[in-house]
Homo-oligomer: A and B are copies of this chain.
Amino acid sequence: MSKLVIVGTVAFDAIETPFGKTDKILGGAATFIGLAASQFNINSAAVSVVGGDFPQEYLDLLSNKNVDISGIEIVKEGKTFFWKGLYHNDMNSRDTLVTELNVLADFQPVVPDAYKDSKVVMLGNLHPLTQLSVLEQMSKKPELVILDTMNFWMDCALDDLHKVIKEIDVITINDEEARQLTGEYSLVVAARKIHEMGPKYVVIKKGEHGALLFNHDNVFYAPALPLEEVFDPTGAGDTFAGGFAGYLAKTDDFSFENMKKAIIYGSTLASFCVEKFGTERMENLKSQDVQKRLHQFKALTQFEIELT
């Protein structure tokens, strides 16, 4: 088992979907990643920042899930990062209504000493230089660095993004972002171009259409579980990444074959995340539920064909 460092936002979200709306609830990339990774009973630490307005119960929630929160700085006089979004009827597109950076604007991540030798680092979506500063704090080079990012940084910090992409092993990115980053429509060609930027592994997330894992000529595809209803997609991508990183940290095996399984775990956990608002479903997720859904995933995708 490896230690896992998780870097990303811990935040307030307010969400409106066709199914309802919430006031400020618990959100943030590091939150969803941490909750997903906690399914694997590993030693993980969240590195983030919140304001004095952040409820102790939310921090306790992470602690109780065995996520070390000593790397979550509390800026007493500051306010927590806040995002408000509205999902449209198809649940695939959304409008950002409010983004208040607050304490995130001056965030200087500090990795707890006990986690500076972690083998696995999961860099959640943040400014690329913030992500990079975490890598610089590690006492020895991590064996596996996973990075998530988004189109926003391609628009306004592309050079910095390229700097951090050069230093990582796995990038997780959605299909439109992969196209934007490379200028290529074909995801196969886009993955090849991203390989050339540094990462040996490229994970392209396609939302309801699943995810692709590329390692040069090796390709693996995991569908998203077809669901009756997607209640709230917020955090699904981070949950996917957290399941992926958590499984790899747990198994301590960073081969392509094992990454396939990590992708399946990520997809499985993400399928729960979207069933309720925010973190609600992930907070109460039992390992029996996960096992049951893994069976569904197997039935969904596995077939027997005699090949010659």
Interface residues of A in 293-308 (CB under 8 A from B): 294-295, 298-305, 307-308
What is the minimal beta-carbon distance from A294 to any residue of chain B, in angstroms? 6
B226–A260 CB distance below 8 A: no
A156 to B187 CA separation, bound complex (whole angstroms): 37
For A295, give its contact among B209, B298, B307 (CB under 8 Å).
B307
The 8 A CB mask of A265-308 against B (1 = contact, 0 = none) is 00000000000000000000000000100110011111111011
- Contact of A188 with B219 at beta-carbon distance under 8 Å, contacts A261-B305, A307-B294 already known: no
Q: When chains A and B are docked, how far (Å) is the Cα of A254 from the Cα of B34? A: 45
* Interface residue? A77 (CB, 8 A): no
CA distance A219 to B300 in the complex (A): 6
**Chain B residues in 8 Å Cβ range of A226:** 187-188, 212, 219, 221
| A228 closest partner in B (C-beta) | B188
- Asked if A189 is an interface residue, CB under 8 A from chain B, the answer is yes
Is A57 an interface residue, CB under 8 A from the partner? no
In the complex, A11 has a CB within 8 A of chain B: no
1/0 per residue A76-116: CB within 8 Å of B?
A: 00000000000001110000000000000000000000000
A204 nearest CB neighbor, chain B only: B226
Q: Mark A107-141, 1 if CB is under 8 A from B, else 0.
A: 00000000000000000000000000000000000
CA distance A234 to B248 in the complex (A): 41
A229 closest partner in B (C-beta): B186
Pair B220/A264 contact, Cβ less than 8 Å: no
Determine the chain B residues whose CB is within 8 A of the CB of A260 once the complex forms.
303
Q: In whole Å, how far is A261's beta carbon from the nearest beta carbon of chain B?
A: 5
By a CB distance below 8 angstroms, the chain B residues around A261 are 303-305
A302 CA / B222 CA spacing, docked (Å): 9
Residues of B within 8 Å of A89, CB to CB, are 185
Cβ 8 A contact of A209, one of B91, B206, B218 = B206
> Is A8's beta carbon under 8 Å from chain B?
no
Minimum CB distance partner of A91 in chain B: B185
Please state if A228 and B189 are interface contacts (CB–CB under 8 Å). Answer: yes
List of B residues within 8 angstroms of A220 by Cβ: 299-301, 303
Tell whether A301 pairs with B298 under 8 Å between CB atoms, given A223-B210, A226-B212: no
A157 within 8 A of B: no
Q: How far apart are the CA atoms of A32 and B296 in the complex, in Å?
A: 34
- Tell yes or no: A227 within 8 A of B by CB: yes
Not counting A209-B209, A261-B305, A301-B301, a sample of 5 additional A-B residue pairs whose C-beta atoms are within 8 angstroms of each other reads: A188-B226, A209-B210, A220-B301, A221-B223, A295-B307
Q: List 25 A-B contacts (CB under 8 A).
A: A89-B185, A91-B185, A186-B228, A210-B223, A212-B226, A219-B226, A219-B299, A219-B300, A220-B299, A220-B300, A221-B223, A221-B300, A223-B223, A260-B303, A261-B303, A261-B305, A291-B307, A294-B305, A294-B307, A295-B307, A298-B305, A301-B302, A301-B303, A302-B302, A302-B303
